[in-house]
Structure 1
Amino acid sequence: MLKPLWTARQAMAATGGMLTGDLDWTCSGLSIDTRSIMPGDLFVALKDVRDGHEFITDAMARGAAACLVTDTSNCPGPALQVKDTLRALRALGAAARDRSSAVRIAVTGSVGKTSVKEALAAVLRAAGPAHWSVKSYNNHWGVPLTLARMPAETQRAVFELGMNHAGEIHDLANLVRPHIALITRIAPAHLEHLGTIEAIADAKAEIYEGLEPDGVAIYPADDPLAERLASHAKRSSAAFMLDFGRSAKAAIRMESFETGLGGSDGVVNVMGVRVPFHLAATGEHWAWNAGAVFAAAAASGLDPRQVAETLRTVDAEAGRGRAIEVALPKGGHFTLLDDAYNANPVSMAAAIASLGSATPGAGGRRIAVLGDMLELGPQSPQLHRGLAPALVEANVDAVFSCGALMRELHDHLPDRLRAGYAANAGEGREMVASAIRAGDVVLIKGSNGSGLHKIAAVLADGSAFNLTEA
């Protein structure tokens, strides 16, 4: 029989709340969303975009063991009443952290943090009882929720920390209190809020401020701001520092890396141990991601050869550079590079380089479908048009631009690359689908708010082509 995640009295002691109704319930999980709640979960009624208290009845009907609430008046079952449900969730997270002897790894960065977190989660699972952030649960409620869901028996855990403003990583890192703190890479992803790339680096480096005294600070050796990150790490309580990258002096050094539509192969030197590895994932940015994974795994005491064995099974998630072969209604196939989850200038450059390294089929072309990069502030116009040289260098044959900001790129492209412009993803869907032919390699890339993930979805399932033939 599985040990419960929380008993009623443990949750009461952690939060300082008051139990009503059944005083002896147990829960096997936590949920803040009735759409995904599982029987036996503790439903946490957060007040965010919607007030979770509106969904208590639904939560109980779906099998919730109890509800964490500020008001019990509409709760038909067991409840744990507190003054503030978010504070109570954070208290549960802190209690879960303190009752477990798990090695905690925290990951942040402007690009690659979710991909690195997912790859690390696979590595940790292969090594024993593990815990990890699901999806991109990396904000003020996602991190404490992930902590509160951590079983006491966990041996290793990885948490993704995100931010939009200075101070947010500091708060989350001090809640997780990681033994290992990793920064993947710095990019101009939040210029609108932070102003300069240096300020972004400083905000990301707040992750080191939460390190346990015997902790390890990991940073990217090849990043232009590596020295700035290292200086933050030196001022923290870190007992050790590790860097990763292609630099000859890096502790975890990528000696070689080749990538294509069939996956990626490399050789990494982990503090003197040379390890060949293969990834199902494609793209030059996976050299960075893999280096980060080997670094964090080494810091947590794992054999790099075991890490390499696990990484053979790791592919990019949907929306993060996964290569998908899609059948066309009239015969033949094209390759979809679905990288539509998010975008900034650095990740755009990496995606374009991946497209450039891909070899189209007979008669096929390299096609880029690009959407707006958001939150770039006053530098946005020049950063968008600045993508043109990379597209030329990658030997891209056609570029479809979608969104008001991407108009800047469209107007600065060479005529031969200008395949089409649409004001938004909805208008661009049919335009793109009607242009695709057998052998093409098609990259879809844009910030999540640009809506390009919708184009990727209808291309991947083939429904976009039904529209063009109707």
Structure 2
Amino acid sequence: MTLWTSAEIAAATGGTASADFAVRGVAFDSREIGAGDLFVAMKGTAADGHRFIDGAFARGAAGALVSEVTAHPCVRVANTFAALEDMGRAARARMAGKVIGVTGSVGKTSTKEALFAALDRGAPGAVHRSVKSYNNHTGVPLSLARMPRETRFGVFEMGMNHAGELAHLTTLVRPHIALVTAIAPAHTEFFPDESAIADAKGEIFRGLEPEGVAIVPHDSPHRDRLIDAAAPYAGRIVTFGLDEGADVRPLETMRLDAGTFVTAKVGERELSFTVSQPGAHWVSNALAVIAAVDAAGGDLGLAGLALGELGGLAGRGDRFKAAVKGGEALVIDESYNANPASMAATLEVLAHEPGRHVAVLGEMRELGAGSDAWHAALAGPLLDARVETALLVGEKMAPLAEALEGRVDFVHVPDAATALDCLKQVIAPGDAVLVKGSNGVGLSRVVAALAGGVS
């Protein structure tokens, strides 16, 4: 199916097409190019994409978006980044369905994927979403440019670590529904306090389409701040959460062996469903999804079924059994990201697992002046989770090591490789092992090694 023709790309970007061609996909990483794709030759700080044009066509590219002369079929523009944004705007303009924007300090990607699954269950093949964590100044326009014109529902994740970033991204996405999952101390290195983080996340509401819906976390201490941010732009504001005052809230929850059974109030209706992923934070995520599906006019019953079938995401709650000498150990993969709120939430999940509890915790980055205090404060959730052995990874974990002295068996190591060596010495059949840290710590390599089996 044709996504773009060269004429459409030229019209969207103000560029000049060297030939007639049609593409089925868009990518700016030449390693991700597939047959029939458009390669966007971006000029970055580390590399110039024009150096990889030949490689992209060798992988099957049908055309390129360039700012330099090339012999390959292309659309030439003055600036390829600006042109990619133009393609994103054009893709959004030609799509007649509902668009949902998702942001928040924690749970963005998981909620986006759950929302995609919930909508796709009712409209299979007609739902588009941003892949991976493509949520920044390049990822959002790329995700928009990849959206088929026949899309009924588009789900876009938007992230930021500085004020003003979301204000721009939301004008590209122009959501009919804008959802904030939660506000937590993340990227505090770049903000004076948590209220400033809430203000930056609240920028998402500025791009709402007329009569759009703002979805706000009721349980957040910043709820009223977010409501105030949404009020000038939203036709309607909906709250979700575990507390009684939320518009979408649980009337009853029951913890299962895997996940939670929820009976929820959705406006004046009730809906019962199972959340396949364990933990109170996933109940909150699921309520946000239900609120968004309802606002988009989706099928709530089918959305509930999708939440019951949702699998874990690599780096964000995926679970598997690792072969260890004499048996198997459960691995909970939360290796992609970490901040104080998500650390506490996943340690609470570990608390309910059978067997001995082992935690491989990587340092939390971008916390600024409060970093030492935030790391030391993990001692409480770690003790509550009945962790018997902790492997603390990275220099910033020193305050936690000090707080745990004499209370928990732990080892403080400098890097992921050393953590893996230590883990191999202590892991045993029946263990439940949580692996979590900021992505830059590299704990995904520990998870990959565990997936291959521990000898």
Among 165, 181, 185, the alignment partner of 2:178 is 181
Matched with 2:14 is 16
Question: Structure 2: any 5+ residue segments left out of the alignment?
Answer: none
Q: Which runs of 5+ in 1 are unaligned?
A: none
Contact 1:5-1:26 at 8 Å conserved across structures: yes
Partner of 1:291: helix, strand, or coil? helix
> 1:258 Cα deviation (Å)?
4.2
**Structure 1 consecutive aligned stretches of length 4 or more whose deviation exceeds 6 Å:** none
Q: 1:12 to 1:105 in 2, by over 3 A?
A: same
Aligned 8 A contact 1:184 1:220 in 2: yes
Q: How far did 1:62 drift?
A: 1.5
Q: In 2, Cα distance between the equivalents of 1:256 and 1:357?
A: 19
Number of the residue aligned with 1:140: 137
Partner in structure 1 of residue 403 of structure 2: 412
1 CA distance for matches of 2:68 and 2:299?
A: 50
Are 2:106 and 1:108 aligned? no
1:124-203 to structure 2, matched below 5 A, reads: 124-128=119-123, 129-203=126-200
Cα separation, 2, equivalents of 1:343 and 1:398: 19
Residue 211 (structure 1) aligned to one of 180, 202, 208? 208
Q: Within the alignment, does 1:399 sit opposite 2:394 as a pair?
A: no
Q: Aligned partner of 1:433: which letter?
A: K
Q: TM-score, normalised by structure 2?
A: 0.97
Question: Does residue 366 of structure 1 match 2:385?
Answer: no
1:47 matched to 2:33: no
Are 2:241 and 1:245 aligned?
Answer: yes
What is the CA–CA distance in structure 1 between the aligned matches of 2:374 and 2:254, rounded to whole Å? 28
Q: 1:384 is aligned with what amino acid?
A: H
SS at match of 1:437: coil
What's the offset of the Cα at 1:278? 1.6
Cα deviation, 1:111-131, whole Å, max 9, x if unaligned, reads 000000001111122222111
1:357-412, Cα deviation, whole Å (9 max, x unpaired)? 2122xxxx111111100000000001000111111222222221111011110111
Counterpart position of 1:435: 426
TM-aligned CA deviation for residue 249 of structure 1: 1.7
CA separation of 1:314/1:92 partners in 2, compared to 1, >3 Å: closer, same or farther?
same
TM-superposed CA distance for 1:423, in Å, is 1.2
Of 410-419 and 148-157, more deviation after overlay is shown by 410-419
Give the TM-score taking structure 1 as reference length. 0.94
Give how far 1:256 is off. 3.2
Please say if residues 15 and 91 of structure 1, whose CA atoms lie closer than 8 Å, have aligned partners that are also in contact.
Answer: yes
**How many residues get paired?**
452
> Residue 178 of structure 1 contacts residue 215 of structure 1 at CA under 8 Å; is this kept in 2?
yes
The question of 1:232 aligning with 2:218 is answered: no
Q: What is the root-mean-square deviation of aligned Cα atoms in Å?
A: 1.3
Greater CA drift, 150-159 or 270-279: 270-279
Is the CA contact (8 Å cut-off) linking 2:77 and 2:83 kept in structure 1?
Answer: yes
Q: Distance in 2 between matches of 1:314 and 1:249?
A: 28
CA distance in 1, matches of 2:221, 2:349: 21
1:441 alignment partner AA: A
1:405 alignment partner, SS class = helix
